């Protein structure tokens, strides 16, 4: 009996899983394995680990329903795989590719070592519709601008057949009958020891079932008006599929197919815009693959000399931003939503990113690291793209001189204050006109709402007009 090892990473599903299908097609039995071996750089943050714990539990349960189970190990991936090969006499190893710089380097070394030891090793594409090397400009260069990338993607993308969830997954007889399940996953200690994650359970259902429930709900609900509703943080108008996509509980091909079905049923512009967001995700991976240094340094080399404030100068402001205590309501609402739910509305992500990098002149890397630790959808490619965009230093970046005014943004996208009142309840009794800039409200208006600035809600840590001028002055220093 031939046995193949199936190494799960960020592909925690059975349907449309090329590595699983290849293992089933080429071997009599398949041993599903997860090895917890985080990269040295950009180790998954606390929120990601919370999601991973629950997604692994869901995957193990799904495997058990099909006569299999998830073998869980922690340690060096090569050593653990070699031990499993020896124990099961497996002659093949399959996995789906990752595209982050450290993951690529790890996989090249791992593949070479296993092949040298006599194993057949195959990697597959599960995470993307088109892999980063498949699209290039007319000159053969990688893209740096989204619009031409999207046009090329649409011209070349051809959906292929997706495999369904297998009904059975043959278990290798050499693996014995020990199927650790929950205890082995718990031993990874992915969950927090202090219960700061209570709000996560109210918002999320990690695993394939939760992913498809959210996809179905979105397609049946707000998807048709997605382009408009996704801009309004006070309503549930986005897909919120990003963590499911990051952990591979859904594939982008499955999302694209669901969108095509919705369009066939009459939805159009909103669905087109949702598909455009899927292409943005592809673009993020295109960039991180071709420009791996951008996880830590700017794509635009001019910004290497940008006059950011130094840590000793901005430490207290950074803490206020992280805690949602800046005194700017829409910024604080976003940061508090992030802490409570592990997620933040995309429009608000842009607002808080602009505020940190431009009004506070704090390096974008500080924001990227905080998001990395606190987002359940922390994805290195998308996180890097988003923060370089906010700072003005990346591909398709907002020009540095385009500085979001958080008050005007709030008035436009949270007109009735639904979002701010939810996450900054101490201001909930303020009128719509006073809510977004309480420092401008008359004393009697504040008093009537029971708000005393500096006691019930912090004073703004920065003057928006003056800090905007400071940012523009800093930009001028690298403009030439």
What is the reported pTM? Answer: 0.96
Centre a 10 Å sphere on the Cβ of residue 379 and count the other Cβ atoms it contains. 24
Which listed residue (39, 122, 196, 346) is catalytic? 346
pLDDT of residue 65: 96
Which listed residue (157, 280, 339, 439) is catalytic? 280
Tens of pLDDT, residue by residue over 190-200, are: 999 998 999 99
Range with the lowest mean pLDDT among 36-45, 48-57, 238-247? 36-45
14 Cβ neighbours under 8 A, 6+ residues apart: 20, 62, 63, 66, 165, 166, 169, 208
Which listed residue (39, 122, 131, 277) is catalytic? 277
Which listed residue (364, 370, 389, 423) is catalytic? 364
> What share of the chain in percent tops pLDDT 90?
91
Reported as a pLDDT band with limits 50, 70 and 90, residue 175 is low
- For residue 281, CA distances in Å to 74, 76, 102, 208, 276 come to 30, 30, 19, 20, 9
Span(s) in the chain for CATH 3.40.50.620: 1-125
Active site residue 277: yes
Reported as a pLDDT band with limits 50, 70 and 90, residue 105 is very high
Span(s) in the chain for CATH 1.10.579.10: 301-479
Active site residue 116: no
Mean pLDDT of the residues in the chain: 95
Q: With 60 as the cut, is the pLDDT of residue 177 above it?
A: no
Tens of pLDDT, residue by residue over 111-125, are: 999 999 999 999 999
Tens of pLDDT, residue by residue over 261-316, are: 998 887 677 899 999 999 999 999 999 999 999 999 999 999 999 999 999 999 99
Contact 264, 444 (CB under 8 A): no
> What share of the chain in percent tops pLDDT 70?
98
Active site residue 308: yes
Q: With 70 as the cut, is the pLDDT of residue 480 above it?
A: no
Query: How is domain 1-125 classified at the CATH fold level?
Result: Rossmann fold (3.40.50)
Q: With 70 as the cut, is the pLDDT of residue 477 above it?
A: yes
Cα separation, 386 vs 365, whole angstroms: 11
SS3 6: strand
Reported as a pLDDT band with limits 50, 70 and 90, residue 173 is confident
Which listed residue (204, 308, 321, 423) is catalytic? 308
pLDDT of residue 351: 98
Tens of pLDDT, residue by residue over 142-165, are: 999 999 999 999 999 998 889 999
SS3 387: helix
Q: Both tokens of residue 140?
A: 């053969």
Cα separation, 259 vs 14, whole angstroms: 21
Element (H, E) at 42: none
CATH of the domain spanning 128-160+206-290, picked from 3.40.50.1260, 1.25.40.80, 3.40.50.1220, 3.30.70.1450: 1.25.40.80
CA 336 to chain centre: 18
Tens of pLDDT, residue by residue over 79-102, are: 999 999 999 999 999 999 999 999
The three-point CA angle 182-188-193 to 5° equals 100
Between 406 and 180, the more confident residue is 406
Active site residue 387: yes
Which listed residue (51, 387, 389, 423) is catalytic? 387
Range with the lowest mean pLDDT among 67-81, 347-361, 398-412? 398-412
- CATH architecture for residues 301-479: Orthogonal Bundle (1.10)
Average pLDDT estimate for 53-64: 97
Active site residue 346: yes
Query: What is residue 123's DSSP assignment?
Result: E
Contact 92, 115 (CB under 8 A): no
Q: With 90 as the cut, is the pLDDT of residue 471 above it?
A: yes
Span(s) in the chain for CATH 1.25.40.80: 128-160+206-290
Q: With 70 as the cut, is the pLDDT of residue 178 above it?
A: no
Active site residue 343: no
């Amino acid at each position: 009996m031939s046995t193949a090892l199936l190494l799960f990473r960020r592909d925690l599903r059975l349907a449309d899983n090329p590595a699983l299908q290849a293992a089933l097609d080429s071997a009599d039995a398949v041993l599903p394995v997860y090895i917890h071996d985080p990269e040295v750089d950009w180790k998954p943050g606390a929120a990601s680990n919370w999601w991973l714990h629950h997604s692994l539990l869901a995957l193990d349960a799904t495997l058990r329903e099909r006569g299999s189970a998830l073998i869980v190990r922690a340690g060096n991936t090569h050593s653990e795989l070699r031990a499993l090969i020896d124990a099961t006499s497996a002659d093949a190893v399959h996995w789906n590719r990752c595209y982050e710089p450290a993951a690529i380097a790890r996989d090249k070394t791992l593949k070479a070592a296993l092949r040298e030891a006599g194993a057949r090793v195959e990697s597959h594409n599960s995470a993307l519709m088109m892999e980063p090397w498949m699209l290039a400009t007319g000159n053969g260069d990688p893209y740096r601008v989204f619009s031409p990338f999207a046009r090329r993607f649409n011209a070349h993308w051809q959906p292929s057949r997706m495999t369904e969830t297998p009904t059975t997954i043959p278990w290798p007889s050499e693996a014995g009958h020990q199927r650790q399940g929950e205890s082995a996953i718990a031993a990874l200690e992915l969950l927090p020891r202090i219960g700061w994650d209570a709000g996560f359970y109210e918002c999320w259902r990690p695993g394939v079932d939760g992913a498809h429930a959210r996809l179905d709900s979105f397609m049946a609900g707000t998807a048709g008006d997605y382009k408009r509703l996704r801009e309004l943080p006070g309503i549930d108008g986005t897909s919120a599929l990003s963590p499911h996509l990051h952990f591979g509980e859904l594939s982008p091909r499955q999302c694209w197919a669901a969108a095509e079905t919705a369009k066939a049923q009459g939805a159009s512009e909103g669905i087109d815009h949702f598909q455009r967001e899927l292409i943005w995700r592809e673009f993020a991976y295109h960039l991180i693959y071709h420009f791996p240094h951008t996880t830590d340094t700017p794509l635009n080399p001019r910004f290497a000399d940008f006059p950011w404030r130094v840590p000793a100068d901005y430490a207290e402001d950074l803490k206020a931003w992280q805690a949602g205590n800046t005194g700017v309501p829409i910024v604080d609402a976003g940061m508090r939503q992030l802490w409570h739910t592990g997620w933040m509305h995309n429009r608000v992500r842009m607002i808080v990113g602009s505020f940190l990098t431009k009004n506070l002149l704090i390096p974008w890397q500080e924001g990227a690291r905080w998001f990395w630790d606190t987002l359940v959808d922390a994805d290195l490619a998308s996180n890097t793209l988003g923060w370089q965009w906010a700072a003005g230093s990346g591909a398709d970046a907002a020009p540095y001189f385009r500085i979001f005014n958080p008050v005007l943004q709030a008035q436009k996208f949270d007109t009735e204050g639904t979002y701010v009142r939810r996450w900054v309840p101490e201001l909930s009794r303020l009128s719509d006109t006073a809510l977004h800039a309480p420092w401008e409200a008359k004393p009697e208006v504040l008093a009537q709402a029971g708000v005393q600035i500096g006691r019930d809600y912090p004073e703004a840590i920065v003057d928006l007009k003056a800090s905007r001028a400071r940012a523009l002055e800093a930009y001028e220093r690298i403009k030439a």
